[in-house]
Amino acid sequence: MKRLINNIKYTAAAFCAVVCMSSCEDFLSTVPLNDIVLENFWENEAEVTSVVTSCYSGMADQEFLKRAMMWGELRSDNVTKGLINKDVKYVNHVQLPEMLDGNILPNYEIADWSTFYRVINRCNTVLHYAPEVLERDPDFNESEWLAMEAEMLTLRALCYFYLVRSFRDVPFVSEPTIDDSKPFIKPASDPDSVLNVLIADLKKAELYAVKEYPMNTTSSEISYTKGRITQQAVWSLMADIYLWMGRYDECITYCEKVIAAKIEEAEEERMSYEGKYPLIANMKASASSNKHQAYYEIFGVGNSFESIFEVQIDYNYDLKNRGDLLRAYYGAADVDMGAYSVASFIGDGAKEGNDIFAKTDIRPYELFDVEDVNQYSIRKYITRSVDDLGNASKRMSEFTNWIFYRLTDVMLMEAEALVERNDTLKNDLRYAFDLTNAVYRRSNLAAAEKDSLTFSTYGSQIKMREFVLLERQRELMLEGKRWFDLVRMARRDGTNGPMLDLAKRKYNKPDAVKSKWIKPDMLYLPIFEDELKVNTLLRQNPEYETEETISTAK
């Protein structure tokens, strides 16, 4: 742990500059300038704001997003090997092919959690020092601080939730590390205890989180609300954690809060939509205009109505200083394939309809190049728009934000929770079907006009489980959700077998992969070997233990 949180004596303002809260564009695009020593810091609200900014900047870091993407997609059945170029930044051309073949070792970069703990430490630094500023700066009032505190508690909880889902047992740190002269040695905490702390923090955060930030119609001010923690973001994360924990009543409650808030938001904006849920409409199948409007607004333009929280990527800064992570892994819109491609069992026959997509589904055109043979180059996030003939328009000058939560994700969370609760008196399965079908109909225009799906077809808990899981795969493919969905399935079932029957489909030797991953511990990543060397209280995931790690732990 000392390795990942060293040199934090200066973290109070590392990766940030003092900025003004009134400028949303400056807030979200602040880039590293210099380090400010703690002893000379924390005097006024602007300095608190600068460190709050650094937390968002840390999440926009390409190494942070790389792990959010890898942890949620790399082991799933969605992606397989594309074109792995050893000269492309962010792509380890030696390790990545091994990992995509199901082989992960404790010295592989996927096991390095340092970027997440770096953001956690920045949040801890704000939570520790900012209250002192209330006494020093008369212009910094308590309500402003409570809103910032809600942001920090939520960002920290989001980071820990990723860590728990990916590694299971992780050290929980709630105090800032500001002095690297002392070794940082802390054991891993039980995952349930960590999640319970996160829930307690988020219950506080929901009380003070901002509903929306001051804005008008300019894109920079819209991004200000979509790119910062709001009350809807807090509720979405709470619903996600409750779903992971199998606490379905609470999950449903918080999903309903988000959906109700979105309906209210749509009414305020006088948004026109069909049905019960305020989803961005694709054009009707009979219309001559483009049928991919939702994709264009959500992924092409970004910061859409449906967005709840997405990290804002500063194109000018990142192009110069970091390079483009998504282009490295996902490609460049039918021109250059990235290190990932969509698994062939998903792409094969998608245009005519296959086991994943109905023939009426327009999402394959948005997700990958349906004309590819054997390897399907990725379009999602990379293309700005898709036309009715399946032609994609690539991005030219802007980076794509990374979306952590959006409305259809929350709708499908609630559907899953309803299926698992399965209260017949509350018509849970019917309500789950309505939620899932609303998402499905949006992308199946011809089928929607005929109302081809009926509840009677999916009237059992088993059938509805399959429907919801498959719709989550279709709707959220390549958004870093799929592996966590499969692990959640295994946790619920008490066995890895059924989820591995799905996950193994992309492999050339699927049974060999399944036999290796069948043990529960294999669903989680190994602890990075460098962490074991500096934190002797950490214990390696048993399935990755060697004689060396066992002796070190003793």
Report the pLDDT value the prediction gives residue 285, as an integer from 0 to 100.
66
Average of per-residue pLDDT across 145-164: 98
Q: Tell me the pLDDT tens digit for each residue of 378-431.
A: 999 989 999 877 788 876 555 689 999 999 999 999 999 999 999 999 999 999
Q: What is the pTM of this model?
A: 0.92
Q: What mean pLDDT do residues 362-388 have? A: 89
Give the model's pLDDT for residue 182: 58
The pLDDT of residue 321 is above 90: no
Query: With b meaning 16 or more CB within 10 Å and e meaning fewer, what string describes 325-363?
Result: bbbbbbbbbbebbbbbbbbbebbbbbeeebebbbebbbb
Nearest by Cα to 308 from 406, 237, 220, 378: 406
Whole-number average pLDDT of the chain: 87
Q: Which of 48, 23, 44, 224 is nearest to 122 (CA)?
A: 48
User: Span 1-77+95-209+524-554: which CATH code?
Assistant: 1.25.40.890
Q: How many percent of the chain have pLDDT more than 90?
A: 73
Least confident of 307-311, 529-533, 549-553: 549-553
Dihedral (CA of 92, 95, 99, 105) sign = negative
At 314 the pLDDT is 74
The radius of gyration of the chain's CA atoms, rounded to the nearest angstrom, is 23
Tell me what pLDDT residue 141 has.
95
* Residue 40: predicted pLDDT: 57
Contacts from 92-96 at CB under 8 Å and sequence distance 24+?
Answer: 96/339
Confidence of residue 372 (pLDDT cuts 50, 70, 90): confident
Stretch 262-270: mean pLDDT: 96
Distance between CA 488 and CA 515 in Å, rounded? 19
Alpha-carbon 37 to chain mean position: 33
Q: What is the pLDDT of residues 2-55, one digit of tens each?
A: 454 443 333 333 333 333 333 444 555 443 333 444 545 799 999 999 999 999
Q: What pLDDT was estimated at residue 215?
A: 61
**pLDDT for the residue numbered 331:** 87
Residues of the chain with CATH 1.25.40.890: 1-77+95-209+524-554
The pLDDT, as a whole number, for residue 287 is: 66
pLDDT at 144 over 60: yes
By mean pLDDT, which of 143-152, 375-384, 393-402, 545-554 is the weakest? Answer: 545-554
Residue 202 has pLDDT above 90, yes or no: yes
pLDDT tens-digit readout, 47-81: 999 999 999 999 999 999 999 999 999 999 999 99
Q: How far is CA 48 from the centre of its chain?
A: 26
* Structure confidence at residue 498 as a pLDDT band (50, 70, 90): very high
Identify the pLDDT of residue 9: 36
Based on the number of CB atoms within 10 Å of its own CB, is 397 exposed (0-12), middle (13-18) or buried (19 or more)?
exposed
Distance CA 73, CA 95 (A): 16
Instruction: Report the pLDDT value the prediction gives residue 317, as an integer from 0 to 100.
Output: 62
Examine the pLDDT at 219 and tell me if it is beyond 70.
no
Is residue 399 within 8 Å of residue 223, measured between CB atoms?
A: no
Tell me: the pLDDT tens digits for 77-96? Answer: 999 999 998 888 889 999 99
For residues 418 and 416, give the distance between their C-alpha atoms in angstroms, rounded to a whole number.
5
Confidence at residue 89, expressed as pLDDT on a 0 to 100 scale: 83
Q: What is the pLDDT of residue 281?
A: 94
> Which contiguous run of DSSP H or E holds residue 206?
helix 191-208
- In tens, the pLDDT along 428-473 reads 999 999 999 999 999 998 887 777 789 999 989 999 999 999 999 9
Mean pLDDT of 231-237: 99
The 3-state DSSP class for residue 384 equals strand
What is the C-alpha end-to-end distance of the chain, expressed in Å? 18
Decide: 154 and 232 in contact? Cβ < 8 Å. Answer: no
Which of the four pLDDT bands, split at 50, 70 and 90, describes residue 203?
very high
Residue 426 in tokens: 């509350």
**Is 486 in a helix, a strand, or coil?**
helix
